[in-house]
Amino acid sequence: MKISPIRNEKDYQKALERLEVIFDAKLGTPKGDELEILSILIDRYENEHFPIEMPDPIEAIKFRMDQMGMKQKDLAAVVGFKSRVSEILNGKRKLTLNMIRQLNKTLRIPTEVLVQDY
């Protein structure tokens, strides 16, 4: 097992290729240890070089509504009146703390996403 830091794209590709080879290694074995360490290095490199930004709060709500087959009238039960839902989804009204809590509970959207500026 020869593990080295991932410093560039070439190192990253090499690490991914090795990961594929040892992917099914059993925990507690030398290859299993290599797999664990390599996974950590790859994750660190990806987080630094390919960060994933959080989605826009309103787009996250719309996406989750679509996933759950919800209509605007269904969301009214969560945040209040149907007109309020329309204002929120059109960006004319900001989410309140209570709305954020309800959306988190009902739609299971992380609060970190909902509290962002938009």
89 shares a domain with 43: no
Cα separation of 68 and 20, whole Å?
35
Query: In terms of pLDDT, which residue wins out, 72 or 1?
Result: 72
For the chain, the average pLDDT equals 94
Instruction: Report yes or no on 1 lying in a domain.
Output: no
What separation in angstroms does the CA of 108 have from each of 20, 34, 54, 63, 100?
33, 36, 15, 12, 10
Structural domain of residue 90, as residue ranges? 57-115
What pTM value is reported for the model?
A: 0.64
45 shares a domain with 93: no
pLDDT value of residue 2: 82
Instruction: Report yes or no on 16 lying in a domain.
Output: yes
Query: Looking at the 3D structure of the chain, how many domains does it have?
Result: 2
Are 4 and 11 contacting, i.e. CB atoms less than 8 angstroms apart? Answer: yes
pLDDT tens track for 39-64: 999 999 999 999 989 999 999 999 99
Instruction: Report yes or no on 87 lying in a domain.
Output: yes
Tokens 């759950």, located at residue: 68
111 shares a domain with 72: yes
Cα separation of 117 and 68, whole Å?
24
- pLDDT band (50, 70, 90) for residue 80: confident
Instruction: Report yes or no on 75 lying in a domain.
Output: yes
Q: Other CB atoms closer than 10 Å to residue 61's CB: what's the count?
A: 25
Is 110 a residue whose pLDDT tops 80? yes
